[in-house]
Structure formats: C-alpha cells, structure tokens
Structure 1
C-alpha cells in the first residue's frame, strides 16, 4: 500500500472517529436529560445498570476481538489467505458456540432478576425484557466486531466507525420516537435491539462486498487456531475483568447497597467519565493498527518512537477537556441536568480528574497484545480489580461516604495501577528502561495543571451562566494553553513533525 493510501485511510479513520465521538457527546448530553424527564432518575438507573451488566459480557468479546485481530492482521499482511480464512471461520464459530454455552447462565439471571437487582416502579416482566434486549444487543455487537476484523487488519477503522455511527443514530431516533409514544421502559430495549440488528446486517453486507475471498465455512474450523487464540484470550479476559471491576462495579455496588435512586444519580454524573473515555478511544483506535503494522513489518525502531509519541499526543488532547470538566463541574451539572445535581460536583471531579493519568497510557496497552505478553498484565489487572471490589465493599460498610464510597477507591487503585505497572511493563516488553514513558505522561499532566490554573483565574472573572458562555470560555482557555502545549508539552521532534504536517496540508 502506498504512503498516500495509508495517509488517506488514517485521515478517514480519524474523521469518522471524531464524528462518532461528537455524536456520542451531543446525544449523551441530550439523551440523559430526556431519559430522566420520561422515565425518571430511577428508570435511568435501570438502563445504566442493564448496560453495565451487559458490559461484563464484553470482557469476553474484547479479549476475543484483540486475539483475533492480532493474528488475522499478521496473516493478511503476510498474504496468507488460507490462514486468514481459517482464523475468520474459527473465531466466528467458536464465539457462536461460546454464546450458546452461556445462554443457560443468562436465562437463569433473567429468571431471578428480582433477587439480583434493586428497582422500583417497574414490573419484573418489564425488567426481564429490558435486560434481555440490551444483553442481546451486546451479543450482536460482539459478533459484528468479529465479522469486521478484516476492516481492522486493513486499517479501515472508518468502516467500523461508520457502522457504529449508524447504530448510535438508529438507537437514538427510536428512543425519542418510542418514549414520546409511551414512557414505558420496555421501548428502550426495543431501540437497543433494533439498532444492533440493523448494523449487524450492514456489517455482513460490507464484508461480503469488500473481502469476497473470506468464506464462513465449518470445514475451515481449526482447533489449533482456536486453542492458540484462546490461550491469549484467557489472559485478556482476566485483564478485562479487572478493568470492568474498576469502571463498572461502582454502579452495581451502589444499586445493591443504596438502591436505584443513588444508582441513577451516580450514573448521570458518571456520563462525563464515559464521554471522556470515548474521546480518548478515538485516538486509541487510530494508534493501535499502526502499532500492529510496525510489528508485522518488524519495524521495531519506529514502533518504539510511535508508542512514546502516542502517549504525548494523548496527554495533549486530553488535558484541555479534562481540565475544563474538572474546573467547571458545578456549572456543567447545573446547565445540563439542573440545580439538584450541582451538589454532586465533587463526585464529577473525582470521576474525571484522574483520567489525565489513566487515559494517557491507553495507547501503550496494545504493545502487550501485539507482543503476546498478556499473562502478567491480565493477572495484575484482575488482582487489582478484585482488590477494588473488596475494598469498595469494606468502605461502604465501614464509612458513611454514600455515593462517593466506591468512586474514591476506584480512582486511587486505578491510578496506582496505571502509573506504576502499565508503563513500566510496556517498557520492559520493549527492552527499554522502566522510566521510558514517564516523561511523556508528565508532559500531559503539566498541561492539565496549566489548564486548571487558567480556569481558576477565569472563574474569578466570571462564572458562565449558559452553554454558550461556557463554550466561549473553554475556547479562550484552550487558545491560552497553546503556547504552553507547544513549548512545554511537545518536544522539538514533535514540533518539527507538526510543522511538516501543516506545510503538507496548507
């Protein structure tokens, strides 16, 4: 593939990722208040809980996608169509069998849902349907991801994003239409499931058109391939369990110990944590295929440079939005969901402030996967996640911290893990000194602190009273941060690269 082609595809990848991000942000800002107005805080807590439970199914799907993506990419870049076909068929068939094996467990959960979930104002039948529909939606999304692995291998991430955008739009339109007909919680389940069916069909159509040599055949099923990918997936599963015990356990514990109202309040505030993670995901989705490409081409020198560069870029692009959200958390909550939620601004700071560290290291996680060094990270993530669960329960029982209980524990433990283990292990995998990534991490942190200082000064001049005013102040703070970002965050080689890109496109 030509350099021009690679540049074109990366531009499309970035553009569609940003479009998906903007839609997530805009629709997230609009849909959450709409949910609350139509089904109440308790009802929104149920939806957040259902998606949280469903995300635990993703511990398997993400792990399988990562293992399949790595091996399929190596096969495609080696022009080995037979192996690619074997990986493709084996992964889809094995995943389908796994889903069938898990079906009795999911059926048992749905049957006894009234014993496992705290809820008010909803019938047990409605709860079963909502959870069943949203879980089914996640299963279809998982299978869609496997069918779209060739898009990842060909660095056509924009195809995945276009289909994801389609899902967001279809689901949101259906939610607004159906909930305006009736405030029944069950309509939301229909919206989730219908959107997944539409996009699953679209994915199958694209694969058939773009990769005609791929055929899903039982005869291509290879136990050895499944065994190899399963051994890699096992440790990735443990890694994902640990990650979800950090990110999603809060809602489940709050629902169990404090009930649906506090769950809904927490979920509302946590939406900004989710949006910032989505923002970071835009760049991770761009960086990961490049890391795989350098590895497949055995270009280890550029892989090392690119991994350091990606951490700097993450810090650069995250510092301003995270700083604005932290500095204006009370203003955002008041403008977004009303004065009732302003009292939760410390929770918003707690949920988002630590992300400047924990999201900056995301690009280097792909190093563990591409080198197949996933056992130690998997075990570490799992153990830390279990600690988070155990300590979270202990804090709830021993201290009267209410809605802040598990958020405090998660923020502390996740930051320790990603500041101590994650960068040092990746550096070790690359055969580099343990402190390799710390200068890159600190550059982004310095810019974050600078944004907080600017925001503190701006708030002493005026506190925004509208979205427009807040947006304008965010632009002013962003512009005033550019000199700091240019001379402090970026190194000379980074500035040279930026100038080269500017000259190229002007």
Structure 2
C-alpha cells in the first residue's frame, strides 16, 4: 500500500477515534462529577497523576524502543528488530516486578501523601490499586503495538484506542448501575478494559507480524539494552521535568487546599487532554513519517515535515483552545454545571499552554529520531524543579484561591519555554535556516490564541438568555469560521494544500 493511501486510511481511523473520544469526553467527566460529587471525583485525578509518574520510568523505555525498532524494521534488519522487541519486553516485566513492593507500600500509606477524606480512604486505595495494575498491563500492550507504529498502521492502533476509551465508559456504566456508585469501580473498569485491549493487541501482533518480526524468548541482548537504555535514561529525565511542569499543580492544590479544588482543576485538565487528543488526529500522522524520513536519510523531508506540521498543529489547537477559553463560562455551565463557572479563569489559564505543547510534540518526534534527547532532558528537569519549588512556596505562603491562579500562570510561562522554545530552537540547531521560522511560528500561535480569547470574552455577554444548546451551536459555527480565517492568515497556500492533501490526494 502506498504511503499516501495509508496516511489517508490512518486519518480516517484517527477521525473515528476522535469521535469516540469527543463523545466520551462530553459525557464521561460530567457523569462522574455528578455521580460522585466534586469531592469524591477529586481523588480520581490523583490516581491518574501517579500513573503519569510511573510512566516516566516505563514509558521512556517504549519511546526509546520505538526509535531503534522502527529504524531497524525500515532498514529490513528483521533479526535485530526482533531482539529490540524481545529485550524491551523482558525489561518491562523486570520493571513491573521491581515496582511492585514500593507501589504496594505507597498505596497502603496513601493518606500520608494526599489529602483524602477519611470516608473515601479505603475506596481510594482500591482505585489506586486497580489503576496501577491497569497501567502495568498497558505497558505490555504498548511494547507489542510498536510494530504497528513502525509500519505506519495507525488505523489498527486507533481501533485499540477506540476499544480502550469506549470500554472504560461502558464498564463504569455497568458497575455504577448494577452495583453501586463508588470510585473503586472506576479503577476496576480500567482494569477490565486493559485486559481486553491486551488480548486484542496480542491478536494484532501475531497476525500482523507474521514473516516480519517475532518475539524471541531467549533473545535478551545486553548490547541492545545499553543502546536503548542510554536513550531511555535521558527520556526519563526529560519526562520527569515534563511531569514537574504539567502535573504538579494538581498535587500541590490537593496538598494545600482540598479534593474539591483539585477535583475542579482535574476536570479542567481532562478537558485539555481531550483537545490534545483532537490535535493528535493530525499530529500523530507525522511521527511515523518523520521516522521513515530519518531512516532514509532524507533530511530535507524531515525539516519540511517538522516545521510545517508543527505550525499547522499549533494553529489548529490555538483555535480550539481559544474557543474553549474565550467562551468558558458558557461551556462550563453546559458541560459540568453552574458550580464550575466561577472557576473559568483556571480553565483559561490551564488551557493556554496546550497549543504550544501540541506544536512542540512534532519537534519532539524529530529530536527523538535524531537521538538528541540529552540536552533537552537536562533543561526540562531543571525547569520542572524550578516550577515545583516556586509553586510550593506560593501555596505555602498564600492559601487564597488567587494563589492557585499564580501557580497556573507560573506553569504556563515555564511550560511554553520548555515545550516550544526548548524543543523548537534545539531542533533548529541541527537544521540551518530554521531559527527564524520557529520564532515566527511561535508568534503566529500566540496571536491566534490571544485574539480568539479576547474575541470570546467580548462576545460571551451577548449569549445571556440564549438557550444552552443554541449557544453551543453558535459557538461551534464561530469556531469553524475562525479556524478557516486563521488557516488562511497564518498558513501559506502550500501548507494549507499539504494539510488538505492528507485527505484528498489520490496518487
């Protein structure tokens, strides 16, 4: 199958995955908030954050593996690719065993680390247990699915994503309706869903990998572990910094305030995650293409893909975030309820980083393909530590809700520096003539989101008295118009045509 045709198929399944995520996103978070209450819901983001920290260690291995494994496959080094896969799967099992005891201790003493109401403590421990076990299962799944990624079969990967997102919702509905409304059943739903996803992934792996690559149970190779581990170590360092920048706010809010505030902030974070998923409909198409270009030593294609696609993704997400932030009082009232509306500024601040973060993700594809992660890792963890220290000091000396806004603003400033400028300018260091393009693109992204924020702020009062559903329809129409205008102004004709060609190109 040609690359262009496969890309269009990938986009189709990306859109199907997007639809599934949007439908679940519209229903799932409000359903949990209304069923559990804001205080009980506030425990859920804490469990997800712990998964984020664990994934720093284990997910970094799969990120490094993807780079080496994909290049080996594209260069038709099947035996070497098989050793990469087998060695990494072996290491994942070892990591799971090593993490078992410390995580068990953490769960048993969870009240020492988080501010959790006593009545929710036992249920919270069960939630954390199921969530962590589910994550371990997903690690095995992710290693098996690297073969699909390497061969640019994002369509099959999206089938797995759809099963995962719909499965979690379905089982939560079943458990809540046939047993009881309890946060532990959210963890159980995740566990059951991940088991199903693992079975499907094993099926895809063995059917798609026939005569291509195979697991060698005695295929552990120390030299491969060293090469993958060296890159993984620096990815671990970088992702520790990422977590310090993007997730620490919720932990600090829980520590110094209550699960109510952390629950509100967690719900807003979920909304941001859904916009990242929407952005990935486009951006995820380029990861395999960048790796393929690198494997072929096609530097001009890598440069073009990275610069142009990062801008396209940035503008797309800027419009979405601008709409969500600018019209946030209306959207929050419809989506989560009137009690969330007074906190709309938190949402606006929390979302502002996402366009830069999504755009920088394209730069990250190229930096990892080049295996140049050490420098960005050191600076990222440094910024992460600065963010943790300053956010902690702000919360320690100021317990008002205004302090939460300061913590979020601090995260935006350091996050933009780390995500976009660090990755973008470091990428430009390897490709002459791209510094100015990276800087100009950042200005375009900034102008897009701020102008739409301002426009939404001006228009919102005119929606008073209008039916909620009708308001959302108007906002959607405004968003489509602004997206078309933004693309026309911020992207060149060639860039627009290339984005369109992902769908309509027939050769």
Task: Report if TM-score (shorter chain) is over 0.5.
Answer: yes
Distance 1:268 1:227 in 2: 40
| Equivalent pair of 1:322/1:448 in contact (CA under 8 Å) | yes
Q: How does 1:194-343 map to 2 (within 5 A)?
A: 194-213=192-211, 214-343=213-342
Q: Which residue of 1 aligns with 2:440?
A: 439
Alignment pair present for 1:122 and 2:119: yes
Alignment pair present for 1:476 and 2:477: yes
Question: Alignment partner of 2:390: what SS?
Answer: helix
| Equivalent pair of 1:450/1:481 in contact (CA under 8 Å) | no
Alignment pair present for 1:96 and 2:93: yes
Distance 2:282 2:497 in 1: 21
| Equivalent pair of 1:358/1:419 in contact (CA under 8 Å) | yes
Q: Which residue of 2 aligns with 1:418?
A: 419
Question: Alignment partner of 1:429: what SS?
Answer: coil
Measured against aligned partners, the alpha-carbon deviations of 1:67-86 in whole angstroms (never above 9, x if no partner) come to 11111111111111110111
Q: Quick one: structure 1 residues 95 and 34, their matched pair in 2 at CA, closer, same or farther if it must change by over 3 Å?
A: same
Q: Which residue of 2 aligns with 1:79?
A: 76
Q: Quick one: structure 1 residues 330 and 478, their matched pair in 2 at CA, closer, same or farther if it must change by over 3 Å?
A: closer
Deviates more, 1:485-494 or 1:408-417: 485-494
Distance 2:438 2:6 in 1: 28
Deviates more, 1:323-332 or 1:54-63: 54-63
Distance 1:267 1:443 in 2: 29
Give the C-alpha shift of residue 150 in structure 1.
Answer: 0.4
Q: Which residue of 2 aligns with 1:166?
A: 163
Deviates more, 1:477-486 or 1:438-447: 477-486
Give the C-alpha shift of residue 400 in structure 1.
Answer: 3.7
Q: Quick one: structure 1 residues 106 and 288, their matched pair in 2 at CA, closer, same or farther if it must change by over 3 Å?
A: same
Q: Please point out which of 13, 18, 23 is paired with 2:20.
A: 23
Distance 1:148 1:237 in 2: 21
Alignment pair present for 1:8 and 2:9: no
Q: Quick one: structure 1 residues 65 and 397, their matched pair in 2 at CA, closer, same or farther if it must change by over 3 Å?
A: same
Distance 2:501 2:245 in 1: 40
Specify which structure has the bigger relative contact order, considering alpha-carbon pairs within 8 angstroms and separated by 6 or more residues: 2
Q: Quick one: structure 1 residues 455 and 253, their matched pair in 2 at CA, closer, same or farther if it must change by over 3 Å?
A: closer
Q: Which residue of 2 aligns with 1:489?
A: 490
- TM-score (normalizing by structure 1): 0.94
Alignment pair present for 1:67 and 2:68: no
Distance 1:416 1:464 in 2: 41
Q: Which residue of 1 aligns with 2:370?
A: 371
Q: Quick one: structure 1 residues 480 and 165, their matched pair in 2 at CA, closer, same or farther if it must change by over 3 Å?
A: closer
| Equivalent pair of 1:72/1:84 in contact (CA under 8 Å) | yes
Q: Quick one: structure 1 residues 80 and 239, their matched pair in 2 at CA, closer, same or farther if it must change by over 3 Å?
A: same
- TM-score (normalizing by structure 2): 0.93
Structure 1's unaligned 5+ residue stretches are none
Measured against aligned partners, the alpha-carbon deviations of 1:128-186 in whole angstroms (never above 9, x if no partner) come to 22101001111111110001110010001221221111011111111011112312222
Distance 1:160 1:501 in 2: 18
Q: Which residue of 2 aligns with 1:151?
A: 148
Q: Which residue of 2 aligns with 1:184?
A: 182
Question: Alignment partner of 2:218: what SS?
Answer: helix
| Equivalent pair of 1:347/1:404 in contact (CA under 8 Å) | yes
Give the C-alpha shift of residue 404 in structure 1.
Answer: 2.6
Count of aligned positions: 503
| Equivalent pair of 1:392/1:409 in contact (CA under 8 Å) | yes
Distance 2:119 2:279 in 1: 36
| Equivalent pair of 1:396/1:405 in contact (CA under 8 Å) | no
Distance 1:154 1:497 in 2: 22
Distance 1:302 1:483 in 2: 26
Question: Alignment partner of 1:359: what SS?
Answer: helix
Give the C-alpha shift of residue 498 in structure 1.
Answer: 5.7
Q: Quick one: structure 1 residues 363 and 118, their matched pair in 2 at CA, closer, same or farther if it must change by over 3 Å?
A: same
Q: How does 1:27-38 map to 2 (within 5 A)?
A: 27-38=24-35
